Amino acid sequence: MPARILDGRVMSETLRAEISQRVSELKKRGITPGLAVILAGNDPASEIYVRNKGNGCLETGMYSETVRLPESISQEELEAEIDRLNQDSRIHGILVQLPLPKHLDAASALARIRPEKDVDGFHLLNAGSLMTGGEGVIPCTPKGALYMIRQTGVDLAGKDAVVIGRSNIVGKPMAMLLLRENCTVTVCHSRTKDLAEYTRRADILVAAVGRAGFVTADMVKPGAIVIDVGINRVDGKVKGDVDFDSVREVASWITPVPGGVGKMTITMLLQNTLEAAERAEKKA
Ligand code: GUN
């Protein structure tokens, strides 16, 4: 029997309806959750992501602001914008779209965001909190991926989870989240020897590689849950890191691309922004 589909569009619709509901309750109390997205330069993929983030805000009744900065912006000017948004009470979430132009220091810019407004969960305080079991903001893509894994209803404790990819945005936080779920976690990457030896043991396999169709059926354990984080453009089409048609015959659950994790990432960003506004209300 082919794998069942974990449908990010359907899950997002349900979650966004809940988010809209909570936004309207906050609005009744005079607070409109607000997200500011900083986009430096003209990277075409970033343009699309930023537009989708703005649309997500509109759809759920939030305020959104896109701060467009020229490619040539200096570090000081970028950080001055972040400082301004840190002070702006209409803004509950600040996101600096990555990658930044090469001459800029992303780590320094991310450190400048007030941790409670860091809706990406990339600030060191939030990253450290995830590592040590605290209550910080969780990065959107792994948070969405974990939500999808949980929707299978499978008991995760003691399961073998393999994450392919070790980025700060996906691989590392994903590994931490699965560890929190009591999985036995292995992180593989471009220098891993005999990758398939690891992936074939995975009850839960998360692919965040950045290469279209990289994970093939022979690399997957029968009955595995396969989560495809890849967004690769091939001949004008978006393809995942997983060879969907073949892996679908082996796995028990699988996420499609498009319509899988990508859709959930923005939904989680909206959720993180809403939660930041709810926390700000409690603190006020
Ligand atoms: N670029 C690619 N993914 C992301 C993300 O999750 N957040 C930000 N800020 N930039 C990205």
pLDDT tens for each residue of 177-190: 999 999 999 999 99
Rounded CA-CA distance 269/247 in Å is 29
Q: Is the CB of 96 under 6 A from ligand 1?
A: yes
The pLDDT-based confidence of 125 (bands split at 50, 70, 90) is very high
The pLDDT-based confidence of 148 (bands split at 50, 70, 90) is very high
* 106: containing domain: 30-117
Residue 120 has a pLDDT of 98
Q: Is residue 103 part of a domain?
A: yes
- Whether 194 is catalytic is no
Mean pLDDT of the chain: 97
Pocket mutation for ligand 1, best pick of 78, 98, 264, 272 (most atoms within 8 Å of C-beta): 98
Q: Is residue 131 part of a domain?
A: no
Cis check for the bond before 258: say yes or no (omega within 30 of 0): yes
Q: Is the CB of 187 under 6 A from ligand 1?
A: no
Atom of ligand 1 nearest to the CA of 96: 9
| Structure tokens given for 125 | 């305080």
| Structure tokens given for 101 | 């132009």
Residue 254 has a pLDDT of 98
Question: Are residues 144 and 81 located together in one domain of the fold?
Answer: no
Residue 277 has a pLDDT of 98
Q: Is the CB of 272 under 6 A from ligand 1?
A: no
Distance 250 CA to ligand 1 centre (A): 31
Tell whether pTM > 0.95. Answer: yes
Q: Is the CB of 141 under 6 A from ligand 1?
A: yes
Q: Quick check: 166 pLDDT over 90?
A: yes
Please report which residue ranges of 182-228 form alpha helices under DSSP H: 195-199
Distance 49 CA to ligand 1 centre (A): 8
Q: Closest Cα to residue 205, out of 12, 11, 6, 1? A: 6
Question: Are residues 89 and 202 located together in one domain of the fold?
Answer: no
Q: How far is CA 275 from CA 49, 177, 213, 232, in A?
A: 21, 19, 35, 31
Q: How many domains does the chain have?
A: 2
pLDDT in tens, 20-40: 999 999 999 999 999 999 999
Question: Are residues 79 and 168 located together in one domain of the fold?
Answer: no
How long a stretch of residues is the chain?
284
- Whether 120 is catalytic is yes
Distance 2 CA to ligand 1 centre (A): 32
Distance 98 CA to ligand 1 centre (A): 5
Cis check for the bond before 99: say yes or no (omega within 30 of 0): yes
Rounded CA-CA distance 189/125 in Å is 25
Distance 1 CA to ligand 1 centre (A): 36
Question: Are residues 98 and 202 located together in one domain of the fold?
Answer: no
The residue contributing the CA closest to ligand 1 atom 3 is 98
Residue 73 has a pLDDT of 98
Residue 70 has a pLDDT of 97
Mean pLDDT for 77-85 is 98
Q: Quick check: 284 pLDDT over 90?
A: no
Classify the phi-psi angles of 263: left when phi > 0, otherwise alpha if psi is within -120 to 50, otherwise beta: alpha
Mean pLDDT for 46-60 is 96
Q: At 124, phi and psi to the nearest 5?
A: -55, -35
Question: Are residues 96 and 202 located together in one domain of the fold?
Answer: no
| Structure tokens given for 135 | 């209550």
Q: Quick check: 230 pLDDT over 90?
A: yes
CATH code of the domain containing 252: 3.40.50.720
Mean pLDDT for 134-160 is 97
Residue 109 has a pLDDT of 98
Residue 1 has a pLDDT of 86
Q: Is 252 helix (H, G, I), strand (E, B) or coil?
A: coil
Q: Is the CB of 5 under 6 A from ligand 1?
A: no
Mean pLDDT for 77-84 is 98
Q: Closest Cα to residue 267, out of 27, 35, 5? A: 35
Q: Is residue 129 part of a domain?
A: no
Q: Which helix (H) or strand (E) holds 62?
A: none
Question: Are residues 96 and 42 located together in one domain of the fold?
Answer: yes
C-alpha distance across the termini of the chain, in Å: 54
Chain centroid to CA 160: 22
Q: Is residue 189 part of a domain?
A: yes
pLDDT in tens, 197-228: 999 999 999 999 999 999 999 999 999 999 99
Distance 153 CA to ligand 1 centre (A): 28
Rounded CA-CA distance 48/238 in Å is 13
Rounded CA-CA distance 105/50 in Å is 20
Q: What percent of the chain has pLDDT over 90?
A: 98
Q: Which of 118, 120, 203, 243 is catalytic?
A: 120
Pocket mutation for ligand 1, best pick of 120, 167, 263 (most atoms within 8 Å of C-beta): 120
Residue whose pair of structure tokens reads 């590994």 in the numeric block: 175
Packing angle, helices 124-132 and 171-180, rounded to 10: 30
Q: Is residue 11 part of a domain?
A: no
CATH code of the domain containing 41: 3.40.50.10860
Residue 268 has a pLDDT of 98
- Whether 97 is catalytic is yes
Q: Is residue 93 part of a domain?
A: yes
Q: How far is CA 54 from CA 36, 154, 218, 220, in A?
A: 9, 34, 40, 37
